[in-house]
Structure 1
Amino acid sequence: MSIPSAPFQSPEYLSSYLEQLGSGGSELTGQLQFALKETNRLLEEGFAKHQPVEELVRQRARLLDQIILCAWKKQSKTGNKPISLISVGGYGRGELHPHSDIDLLVLMQQAPSKEQCKEIEQFLYILWDLGLEIGHAVRTIKECVSVAEKDVTVFTNLVEARQLCDLDDLFSQLKYQLDLAQVWPPAEFFTAKLEEQKQRHHKFGDTGYNLEPNLKASPGGLRDIQTIGWVAKRRFDTDSFRGLVREGFLTDEEYNALSKGQHFLWQLRFGLHLLANRKEDRLIFDHQKNLAQMLGYEDTPERLGVEHMMKEYFRTVTELSELNDMLLQLFEEDLLCDENCRTVTEINQRFQIRNQRIEVTDENVFKKSPFALIEIFLLMAQQDEIEGVQATTIRLIRQNRHLIDQQFRVNIQNRSFFMELLRLPHGVYRQLVLMKRYGVLGAYIPEFGQIEGQMQYDLFHSYTVDEHTLILIENLRRFWLGKEFPLCCHIMQNLAKPELIYLAGLFHDIGKGRGGDHSQLGAVDARAFCQRHGLGSYDSRLVAWLVQSHLLMSTTAQRQDISDPDVIHDFALIVGDQVHLDYLYVLTVADIRATNAKLWNSWRQHLLQDLYTSTRLALRRGLSNPQNKSQLIKETQEKSWMILTGHNASPMRTHELWSSLGEVYFIHQDPRAIARHTRAIINHKQTKQPLILVSQREDFAGTEIFTYLDNRSHIFARVTSTLEKLGLNIVSARIQLSADNRRLDTYTVLDRDNQPISSEYISEKIHSRLLAALSADSAPSLPSQSFKTRKLKHFEKPTRVSFSPDSHNTMTVMELYGLDHPGLLAKVARTLLENNAIIHSAHIATYGEKIEDVFFISDMDGNPIEDSEKLSLLREQIIQQLDPQDDASDNDSDLVQQACSQGIDI
């Protein structure tokens, strides 16, 4: 039969064509390639026309059956020798997505002969020539049984196997031998699959709420659904969830939820395979926007279409995780429980403990006493021996959570139970997680329900808003219990009312996704909630203030000069007292650590702790008694001189040097650093060679790089470019000009692991590279291109530049927001110099691939830049320099990522 000249109109016509091919002839491979191409086209068109994805994955499996059988019949000529072709894995279930693996088992009665091996090899070559991803095994029945006994994954594949060509009934013999050998009895099989799931969840951080989830393997994903199916088939020999309904293990509502969840995940996976044009289960940023458009999600004023899609995804995996927990527990009780599991310990009239899990005493408990929907979590927190909720009770919570309505929320007993839970010394985080998982938290606090599954489509946040919020609560609990953060631990253990910090944590981001300032929206919600729950006026105001101000401390520490007494005084005026400072500090640290694991480092810890300590001293001194700068400078010089006297420093030369440095230097620098700089400069004598010191900061927050040399153009650009090429993360820079026109610049850096530099070799390499760069006569080299990492390519974050006067109106503050890339700081410095502006200090804040940098600049005479036209031109030129051009091809993605990783070049 020749290859048709026109495409097929439907899968049915294609199927008829394949039936006529039979074993084919010499042109079979070409005919099958055409058939496979038509299969892909028809199914892709069907997906675009919104045909049910269930039909599409099964159609693909059926059409692939025919294609594979044609190839099999062409090569299988030893009909007198028992041999069978079996589909296993997802293909065995009859489910194939566009680029799913096709797993085959060639089943033999005896070991294959040379002739059979050649036939099998030729058969596989045909499939590989078609471009199919084939996984295969050639085994005898005895070998299958032996391997299955040792490997539960192999056995699982055989459990859902399906015969394709089995003229000798070997498949039935295999199933008989597996049963006869009692391979993986239901109880052992369940235990193994449960452990397998635990390990898989742990691999993904035990959360399904990462912003680039794996549709198949993440918690709540397709593998969790399949696990339920595997255990059900082993226990009840049923091939569908409908069979579990018949067995009484699944309600109609749960069946519908599982089916709906699988349908949604299948839609995402089918579309993802089409977009990637290969097997791909990771819903990475590269595909999220296009997939959302493919599935018809549209942007709204409040939210992007991709955020709508991801919110539905996260809500779906939440429900699937809940069903997975419940059903696997039901299987556990059915398969593993003995008489000891039946022992019951009564808690009260409504609840009892069985097998270390809490359960209701009566299936009508929640209907008769709706307050029990909150009470159950309070009881679990109060009793350490309770490890979880019985599956039947989880089911009843699901069925009765609709009772949590407005009347429920205003009920004084429900409010009392919730506040009592927050006041407990332990168990708060775990119970809030369970309340969220079982849909109670979002029902009780509707505003929280609105942020469940809410994605933040940026390069800053690693989790959904609700997951981030619960991680923040977990961090607060860790502060209370551990010594990892001594200051946080001390504060948490001495808070008069810890429940207030938990409330602030719960509400701090609750206003996101509504438009407007989420801090202000959340503060209104928090205050209303506190008042409804009987908190006093002071406590309600405190919680609302914490929510409204939860970004205040981090922005002050990272964008302002916290060595300036005036900045500390202004911050202290806003905070007002020690109580507000304590609550705000622990909330800020918990928030940053819950946002993105890469954000927290020794430098940010130092900034926040330094701001806390300085503000505490300011509050003790009194808000009406700000620190006198002259007194501060005098005290700093006295402490520095005390250190220098131990090194036989010359008073005359020290005084001469200090007189040239100016007051600002002594405000910004630590006495030990001043002593170190002074000794080095004096010993450096009058040489024209740059002085470079690489040392650890006294607070261990980072590595300090100090340079001292004659003032000249491009010093900042030379230094920053060199340090970036060495893979170092610059977090702070201070530029000081002495009276004799010498530059004293201080940089704080971290290595690529966000740690101070610990290698003496790297410190020496920094010194030699900087010495060469600062001694060179030629202009500093800058990257010719701005590379984008894989993630950067999918975010539209144009550079933003804003200008404002500093608090003293002595300098201009330039704030820079955008995407990080190599050479950024050097480009900024060059552009400023070209516009007759100089940098005095810089606060460099990098959040993953996002930057929020603050530069204190002036004109060449040291005056603030106030001309609006000059500022407008400067803004325009910086944006022109920094907005990355998409000039790196996708084929070079690996090289691009290497270029942007800023690996240390030594």
Structure 2
Amino acid sequence: MSAAPTPPELTLAARLASAADDAAWREAAKAGLVANRAALGQRFEAGEAIDRLISRCCEAADDVVRSAWARCLPAGAGLDLLATGGYGRGELYPQSDLDLLVLGEPGLQKAHEAAIGHFFSLLWDAGLHTSQAVRSLAQCVEAAAGDITVLTALMECRVLAGDPAAPAALATALAPPALWPPAAYFEAKRAEQRQRHARFHDTAHNLEPSIKEGPGGLRDLQTVTWMGMRLYGVPGLRALVPLGLLGEDECASLEREWRVLARLRFGLHLLARRREERLGFDYQKNLATMLGLKDERRDNLAVEQMMQGFFRSAATVMRINDRLLQRFEEQLSGREAPVPAGEGYELRHGYLAMVGPGRLREGLGPVLELLATWDALPDVRGLHSETARALGESLGAIRPYPEQPPALRQRFMELLQSPLAVATLTRMARLGVLARYLPAFGKVSGRMQYDLFHVYTVDQHTLTVLAHMDGFARRADERFAIAHEVQPRLRKPHLLLLAGLFHDIAKGRGGDHSELGAVDAREFAAAHALPQADTDLLAWLVEQHLLMSVTAQRQDISDPEVVARFANKVADREHLDYLYLLTCADIAGTSPKLWNAWKDRLLADLYAATRFALRRGLENPVHATEIMAETRAVAMERLLGEGLDEAAVRRIWAAYPDVGFLRYRPEQIAWQTRGIAESGGAETLVMVRPHLQDGGLEVFVRTPDRDGLFAALVATFDRLGLNVLEARVLNSSDGHALDNFQLIAPQGHAPEPAAVEAALKAALRDPAKVRPPRRAAPRQLRHFRVPARVDFDLSADGRRTRMSLVCTDQPGLLAGVAQVLRRFRLRVHDARIATFGEKVEDFFLLTDERDQPVGDQALLDELRAAIVAAVDGEH
């Protein structure tokens, strides 16, 4: 039996040495590197340790670099070849650049200039990307003095060819204090890290995080390593343990998380086949498969498991990174007498420290005491690193709340009812305490949802929701019109915080997370001795936390029957107040871009209408005739105050459909009426005004009604880069369309109203010729496919056909749907547009040409097929 062939990457050096000329060498080098990467990919998927994979990647590069050097530079040339930076410390990924330094005096550099250039060209031709420098020792010192990045790269170096003593000589030349003294180096690198974190909004919780540069990424690990090297002259993080600067547990945690991050980066390079550091949607699913992860349920996908692992690792790195920075700063600033801060506590350099932090190993009691002390000292810089380390090492002693004695559960509730409750909960979450006390929260820590709607992990979303609730109490955010008025009416504000804490706590378990979360909330409330009324309210809020959002965004809340149904579910003012605030915080806490003035008004309008219905009594529902009469009266008073003639107003209103006074606000009716009066009877009137927020516009169009009008208008909006949030499409008795649109510019910069008016007037000259533009879908949307679904039912009054469309968002979607409706000669009377990340949920009220509901099932089936074909055709 013949011996098994030697793996190709192990014979690379030999094959390079036997190459007769440069051409043969280049081919051997390229083929060897390709084979090596293929073999590394197989080993990666087989689960080989990341340390070994990185070492093999580095060894293959070393073989090529040394061979090229030997081919180009004569023996005894007097030059040294050093690997620096990441390559210098032996950490190389499949597509990383190679940092190389040719070290030699200027005369030798000049003498071998052509050979050095040939050397770098050979490496490039072989497929290795290099970042190179040719310097003498003096030139290295000069470059390092002017650029801390150069110094940092030179701090990690090893010899590839030449004098083995070269790294030591370089280290001596670059040694502090003459060059970048420790304090200066620390401040510069800390500032560099802060700037880098700011580019990622100071959070690792991005949908497409950078494994290398983002907060909690590999660069944070490297930064504290470099600081340790410069400040203490140690070779790496583990050498800080004997110095007392890094705990053994902390060091082991950083080593463990490095392996997680390094494995992700290694796999990402293999997939991308280029230097890619961002874990983008293009790679996430495939990388999860390479890692051997599998989908467990629809709400626990392999990609979500992988990303949860990343976010948890990043959180650990950030936590220990912060501790180390604090310790380095404290060491550099010298001794400072601690300031007493209550019995058993003191302030060290402005940080809260527990005297004798070993007490934390006793369990939850000392931890809650620490948190209460922290609450009482709002001006401290944070938790002292020594206490934070002791707390981290003591987390295992904290038992879940069902196993805690009643006194400690009560102590937790006292913290929850304090003015700084949200700050305390946030600290508990960041320090890992909340996940121990409330294990369900631990399960969603770092948990992402694979979509474009939820931009935060579940735990980060929850903390953001709580932060918004805190803002309501402090009147801190003007984006919420009435939240600061509602919040003071809460009987027990801490119940709102508990609802926020539990509303998404059951995500990822399978089943309805609202129902499962309500069960968790009841169990928690029972264990913490909440009164039955409070328990019922809390569980109801968790179970119904989507009710108000769904009602406001998907139904016509100007319809009294919609409001009546919602009011019956809410039942009383207390439930309404809590649900309104929870809904506002939940929407705003889902994405920084999701909350806008239109949603604020929708929820405020629904709140006001429901409150009125509850005040009248559910047995006395508000009727449409009452609302229309009130709208007429308020609008008339406004118009008369502006100098309009009552008779002229009534003539205009004579052609208005009654439903207009139901769907439009009095202020809108007054605006429209004034415009019609001032137009002097013009057949076509277009009015545009800024509305509600930056980038928001309201448009009113009065024009002779004809087929294709709605399609032409929305196609024009699409061309102008405006998204439709809401459309009210009415018809007057004198044959005019009365169409009102709420629009928003996605980037917050809407065209000037005059430009919008001119574009619409041009489109209205011949609506049949207006076609929507065709644009490619954004890159991110390609990775999230929502199957198109179209459903029909009859509106509550039986006069309209209600069509709902759920599908993937895409440019020109509404305009394309409008074209299909136009083709089927259907009229749009109302449209409600809602986008949730990659998912669109649009609702339309339709009739046929005779303003009758569409009752032909065959026609509806044909319409459904046409819309699905139009939507899918955009992919």
Question: TM-score, normalised on structure 2?
Answer: 0.93
8 Å CA contact 1:523–1:544 kept in 2: the answer is yes
8 Å CA contact 1:841–1:855 kept in 2: the answer is yes
Question: Of the candidates 791, 795, 798, which is equivalent to residue 787 of structure 2?
Answer: 798
Amino acid at match of 2:227: V
Distance 1:379 1:648 in 2: 64
SS in 2 for 1:693: strand
Distance 1:413 1:732 in 2: 53
Amino acid at match of 2:761: L
Question: What's the offset of the Cα at 1:751?
Answer: 1.9
CA distance 1:168–1:316, change in 2 (3 Å): closer
Amino acid at match of 1:390: H
Amino acid at match of 2:352: I
CA distance 1:766–1:364, change in 2 (3 Å): closer
Residue 149 of structure 1: aligned partner: 145
1:302-349, CA deviations, whole angstroms, 9 ceiling, x for partnerless residues? 42111111112222222222332333434444x325331x42525335
Question: Of the candidates 11, 15, 18, which is equivalent to residue 17 of structure 1?
Answer: 15
Give runs of aligned pairs for residues 120-135 of structure 1, distance below 5 A: 120-135=116-131
8 Å CA contact 2:831–2:842 kept in 1: the answer is yes
CA distance 1:93–1:611, change in 2 (3 Å): same
1:766 aligns with 2:760: no
8 Å CA contact 2:712–2:764 kept in 1: the answer is yes
Q: Please say which of residues 323-332 and 304-313 is displaced more in the overlay.
A: 323-332
Give runs of aligned pairs for residues 2-151 of structure 1, distance below 5 A: 9-18=7-16, 27-77=24-74, 79=76, 82-110=78-106, 114-151=110-147
8 Å CA contact 1:84–1:107 kept in 2: the answer is yes
Amino acid at match of 1:742: H
SS in 1 for 2:738: strand
Q: Which runs of 5+ in 1 are unaligned?
A: 1-5, 887-906
Residue 263 of structure 2: aligned partner: 267
Distance 1:184 1:374 in 2: 43
1:410 aligns with 2:398: no
Question: Of the candidates 609, 625, 628, which is equivalent to residue 630 of structure 1?
Answer: 625
Residue 537 of structure 1: aligned partner: 532
8 Å CA contact 1:711–1:741 kept in 2: the answer is yes
Question: Of the candidates 500, 516, 519, which is equivalent to residue 521 of structure 1?
Answer: 516
1:637-696, CA deviations, whole angstroms, 9 ceiling, x for partnerless residues? 233333444566565554344223221011122334323333443555665x53222224
Question: What's the offset of the Cα at 1:77?
Answer: 4.3
Q: Please say which of residues 291-300 and 134-143 is displaced more in the overlay.
A: 134-143
1:134-160, CA deviations, whole angstroms, 9 ceiling, x for partnerless residues? 112222222221232333222211111
Give runs of aligned pairs for residues 646-665 of structure 1, distance below 5 A: 649=644, 654-665=649-660
Distance 2:196 2:483 in 1: 33
SS in 1 for 2:853: coil
Residue 852 of structure 1: aligned partner: 841
SS in 2 for 1:429: helix
CA distance 1:621–1:408, change in 2 (3 Å): closer
8 Å CA contact 2:364–2:397 kept in 1: the answer is yes
Distance 2:512 2:22 in 1: 70
Residue 668 of structure 1: aligned partner: 663
SS in 2 for 1:179: coil
8 Å CA contact 1:87–1:164 kept in 2: the answer is yes
CA distance 1:794–1:473, change in 2 (3 Å): same
8 Å CA contact 2:712–2:768 kept in 1: the answer is no
Distance 1:368 1:678 in 2: 73
Amino acid at match of 2:36: T
CA distance 1:691–1:346, change in 2 (3 Å): closer
Q: Please say which of residues 802-811 and 788-797 is displaced more in the overlay.
A: 802-811
CA distance 1:634–1:486, change in 2 (3 Å): closer
SS in 2 for 1:743: strand
Residue 470 of structure 2: aligned partner: 477
Question: Of the candidates 372, 376, 382, which is equivalent to residue 382 of structure 1?
Answer: 376
8 Å CA contact 2:145–2:180 kept in 1: the answer is yes
Give the RMSD, CA atoms, in angstroms: 2.8
Distance 1:829 1:385 in 2: 57
Question: What's the offset of the Cα at 1:798?
Answer: 1.1
1:781-839, CA deviations, whole angstroms, 9 ceiling, x for partnerless residues? 245x6733211111121112223333333323222222222332232223334445321
SS in 1 for 2:730: strand
Residue 616 of structure 1: aligned partner: 611
Residue 227 of structure 2: aligned partner: 231
Amino acid at match of 2:121: Y
8 Å CA contact 1:812–1:864 kept in 2: the answer is yes
Question: What's the offset of the Cα at 1:247?
Answer: 4.3
Residue 725 of structure 2: aligned partner: 731
Distance 1:373 1:232 in 2: 30
CA distance 1:85–1:637, change in 2 (3 Å): same
Question: What's the offset of the Cα at 1:551?
Answer: 1.4
8 Å CA contact 2:708–2:768 kept in 1: the answer is no
CA distance 1:346–1:678, change in 2 (3 Å): closer
Amino acid at match of 1:675: A
SS in 2 for 1:208: coil
Question: What's the offset of the Cα at 1:483?
Answer: 4.8
Residue 436 of structure 2: aligned partner: 443
CA distance 1:820–1:142, change in 2 (3 Å): same
Residue 181 of structure 2: aligned partner: 185
8 Å CA contact 1:602–1:754 kept in 2: the answer is no
Aligned positions, number: 869
8 Å CA contact 1:644–1:675 kept in 2: the answer is yes
Distance 1:647 1:329 in 2: 64
Amino acid at match of 2:731: L
8 Å CA contact 1:451–1:510 kept in 2: the answer is yes
Question: What's the offset of the Cα at 1:766?
Answer: 1.7
Distance 1:111 1:547 in 2: 76
Distance 1:9 1:692 in 2: 75
Distance 2:67 2:805 in 1: 63
Amino acid at match of 1:586: L
1:527-546, CA deviations, whole angstroms, 9 ceiling, x for partnerless residues? 22122212222222222222
CA distance 1:188–1:665, change in 2 (3 Å): same
8 Å CA contact 1:409–1:444 kept in 2: the answer is no
Distance 2:611 2:684 in 1: 40
1:580-613, CA deviations, whole angstroms, 9 ceiling, x for partnerless residues? 2222222222211111111122211221222223
Residue 816 of structure 1: aligned partner: 805
Amino acid at match of 1:523: A
8 Å CA contact 2:83–2:159 kept in 1: the answer is yes
Q: Which runs of 5+ in 2 are unaligned?
A: none
Question: What's the offset of the Cα at 1:364?
Answer: 3.5
